[in-house]
Amino acid sequence: MKPAIPALAVLLGLAACDHQNTPSPRPANTATTPESAAGTPADASDSVAFQQLSERMVEDLWQLFPSWAVHEGYYAAADRLQVPDDAYRERVLAFVRDYRRQFGEIDSSGLDANASSDLSLIRNFLDRTEWEITEFRGYQWNPAQYNVSSTFAVILKADYAPLDERLRTFSTRMAKVPDYYAAAEQSLGTPAAPQLALAIQQNEGALSVFDESLEQKLAGSGLDAGEKAQFNRRLEATRSAIRNYIAFLQDRQKELDETRQYRDFRIGEKLYEEKFHYEIQIDMTAEQLYQRALQEKARLHEQMAGLADKLWPEYFPNRQPPQDRLERIAAVLEKLSLHHATKETFKAEVEKQIPELAEFVTRHDLLSLDPGKPLVVRTTPPYMRGFSVASINAPGPYDKGANTYYNVMPTGELGDEQAESFLREYNSYLMQILNIHEAIPGHYTQLVYANRSPSLIKSILGNGAMIEGWAVYAERMMLEAGYGDFSPELWLMYYKWNLRTVTNTILDYEIQVKGIDEDRAMELMVKDAFQQKAEAAGKWRRATLSQVQLTSYFAGYADILALREEMKEQLGENFDLKAFHEQFLSYGSAPVPVIRGLMLEKLDVKS
Ligand code: ZN
Ligand code: ZN
């Protein structure tokens, strides 16, 4: 089972990979010393003052958000559970105002590139945190924000200290659970229906963290009798607090199902634009990006139809093509999907491709790769299984030097029918695109570069649109460079994959702002974007539970492409693709417009 997303991760909207529903890789840092990534002249004293202030802010941040800290691998405040009441929210607002004032006193023109991009992330984070509390107010209508389990689960699983010590931390932390859920009930007004259903489901799942196996662990531990008795009392209180919260939510659900007085899960145009502004951080409104996605969809349909018509006689020598363009494309895509690995060979095929991708990148001079940081391909460990096909597991900011893993779903344990449907979806063509996206030169490569200008701030506040946008950009860039020898089959499958990214943007905007219903959403995905029904149904659910995040892939991708074209124009004959990529990645996971500003500034210095 997938662990519940911690409330704070929801609050901050941690980016998730479209195809895997797990937190996106975030760069790990190894130090906090400022290092000028772009080499712009900087005033050392301003940079030092900035560095000290941002370190102080992170320390205070972890005191205020200890659950978030645990998920970043920082355990010093792990025994504390913050009770989400009005007083707590006031403290968060005071924190925001205090640090906004202090950062306001720093002269940003004196900062180096790394520090000034950190500063823009910090300012955005402070504004956004305030907005979440004063405007968005998810704490009033999203009961799924309240769930204590995932942080407790990390404390049990992460091997950061001996078990006895972790059990003591666990025990102290449990003491606040009844107050936590009491505050949750008090904070909630009228919930939205999908969030209410999710809260019931995930809090039922939460009970598994506090089951009998925990009692066995305690019994076998070195805690003394008094500590054990106290632990068990707190454990009982924790279980009943969770059960009471579930009962409270079920009562609300019964009542709201009858009265139909649910809050609309659609947040509407104003909140959507604001959330887009804070979360995506590109120089475009959500409405403008939506218009752009509509144009892109039309363009992709055009390209796909051309390829499908070209491939038709080869794949259907005895069949007349249907009149409908979308039907022709769908038929060819279906045929291509039959080209796939077996459940026994899937992981080996993925593994084999990684060095091939690296070799291609090097031979075509697209980027320099660091051979000292190998990527370890492994079967997804049991506790992480459930949703992701493939994902990058990078060491956290406080976990220096750990391996980076490429987790691949264990296909061997799937039933035959399930395996067939999975293998068709991740067929031989799509598997290559997936490996480009996740590994080389996508997420994994971006991460290696981000770690060269270590920044704790970018590691914890990094921009999701830049991270996802880079991985989506990498797919296209590789194919443009001739990966796959311009095979029309690979391009057609790539367009289908890319169309999904574009459709995510259209879907999210049309649901949240324009109010379309499930039927229209399904048509958009199944008919216009060639998605499987099961996949589309899952996406509909996700789009009712989150807002804006689904646009991050296309937003970042479109912005990076536009920046590349702008740099080409600026540099003319001197434009070099490899230099562009390396410079772009050297600033870490900052918003694309911030990187753009730094790149243009450097051009001015040169000329
Ligand atoms: Zn991704
Ligand atoms: Zn098959």
Q: In what order do the strands lie in the sheet with 390-393?
A: 375-379, 404-408, 390-393
Among 5, 15, 11, residue whose Cα is nearest residue 553: 15
- Compute the distance from residue 342 Cα to the ligand 2 centre, in Å: 8
Q: Where is 17: in which H helix or E strand?
A: none
- Compute the distance from residue 324 Cα to the ligand 2 centre, in Å: 26
Q: Is residue 597 part of a domain?
A: no
- Compute the distance from residue 140 Cα to the ligand 1 centre, in Å: 31
Q: Which ligand is nearest to the CA of 421?
A: 2
Query: How much of the chain, in percent, has pLDDT values that exceed 70?
Result: 91
Q: Which ligand is nearest to the CA of 339?
A: 2
Same domain, 88 and 224: yes
Write the DSSP assignment of 130-142 as a string of letters: HHIIIII-HHHH-
- Compute the distance from residue 393 Cα to the ligand 1 centre, in Å: 12
Same domain, 144 and 232: yes
Q: Is residue 555 part of a domain?
A: yes
Q: Which residues contact 413 (CB under 8 A, 6 or more apart)?
A: none
Same domain, 149 and 289: no
Torsion of CA 234, 197, 531, 533, to 10 degrees: 110
Same domain, 475 and 524: yes
Q: Which ligand is nearest to the CA of 18?
A: 1
Residue 16's DSSP bridge partners are: 23
Domain extent, residue 525, equals 279-563
Domain count, the chain: 2
Query: What does residue 389 show for φ and ψ, rounded to 5 degrees?
Result: -75, -50
Instruction: Write the burial class of residue 554 (CB in 10 Å: 0-12 exposed, 13-18 middle, 19+ buried).
Output: buried
Strands 375-379 and 390-393: unpaired
Q: Which of 24-33, 442-451, 485-494 has the lowest mean pLDDT?
A: 24-33
Domain boundary among 265, 288, 303: 265
Q: Which ligand is nearest to the CA of 501?
A: 1
Residue of higher predicted confidence among 296 and 604: 296
**Which of 23-32, 101-110, 224-233, 337-346 is the most confident on average?**
224-233
pLDDT level of residue 43 (50, 70, 90 thresholds): low
Q: Which ligand is nearest to the CA of 334?
A: 2
- Compute the distance from residue 412 Cα to the ligand 2 centre, in Å: 15
Q: Which ligand is nearest to the CA of 25?
A: 1
- Compute the distance from residue 409 Cα to the ligand 2 centre, in Å: 18
Residue 41 has pLDDT above 70, yes or no: no
Angle between helices 286-315 and 268-280 (to 10 degrees): 80
**pTM for this entry:** 0.90
Q: Which ligand is nearest to the CA of 420?
A: 2
Q: Which residues contact 90 (CB under 8 A, 6 or more apart)?
A: none
Same domain, 284 and 198: no
Same domain, 151 and 204: yes
Tokens of 576: 């070099």
Give CA–CA dist 441/447, Å, rounded: 10
Q: For the residues 211-216, what does the mean pLDDT come to? A: 96
pLDDT at 15: 31
Write the DSSP assignment of 125-173 as a string of letters: HHHHHHHIIIII-HHHH-GGG---HHHHHHHHH--SS-HHHHHHHHHHH
Among 71, 221, 250, 220, residue whose Cα is nearest residue 149: 71
Q: Which ligand is nearest to the CA of 388?
A: 1
Q: How many CA atoms lie within 13 A of 436 on its CB side?
A: 26
Q: For the residues 429-456, what does the mean pLDDT come to? A: 91
Q: Is residue 34 a contact partner of residue 168, using CB atoms and an 8 Å limit?
A: no
Angle between helices 225-259 and 193-206 (to 10 degrees): 160
Same domain, 227 and 351: no
Same domain, 209 and 318: no
Tokens of 112: 């180096």
Q: For the residues 459-472, what does the mean pLDDT come to? A: 95
- Compute the distance from residue 535 Cα to the ligand 2 centre, in Å: 18
Same domain, 307 and 261: no
- Compute the distance from residue 326 Cα to the ligand 2 centre, in Å: 23
Give CA–CA dist 171/152, Å, rounded: 10
- Compute the distance from residue 429 Cα to the ligand 1 centre, in Å: 17
Residue 38 has pLDDT above 50, yes or no: no
- Compute the distance from residue 455 Cα to the ligand 1 centre, in Å: 21
Q: Is residue 270 part of a domain?
A: no
Q: Which ligand is nearest to the CA of 338?
A: 2
Cβ atoms < 10 Å from Cβ of 250: 12
Q: Is residue 495 part of a domain?
A: yes
pLDDT at 268: 98
Q: Which ligand is nearest to the CA of 474?
A: 1
- Compute the distance from residue 333 Cα to the ligand 2 centre, in Å: 14
- Compute the distance from residue 345 Cα to the ligand 2 centre, in Å: 13
Q: Is residue 534 part of a domain?
A: yes
- Compute the distance from residue 220 Cα to the ligand 1 centre, in Å: 41
Q: Is residue 579 part of a domain?
A: no
Residue of higher predicted confidence among 598 and 29: 598
- Compute the distance from residue 508 Cα to the ligand 2 centre, in Å: 32
Q: Which ligand is nearest to the CA of 552?
A: 1
Give CA–CA dist 545/80, Å, rounded: 28
pLDDT at 383: 63
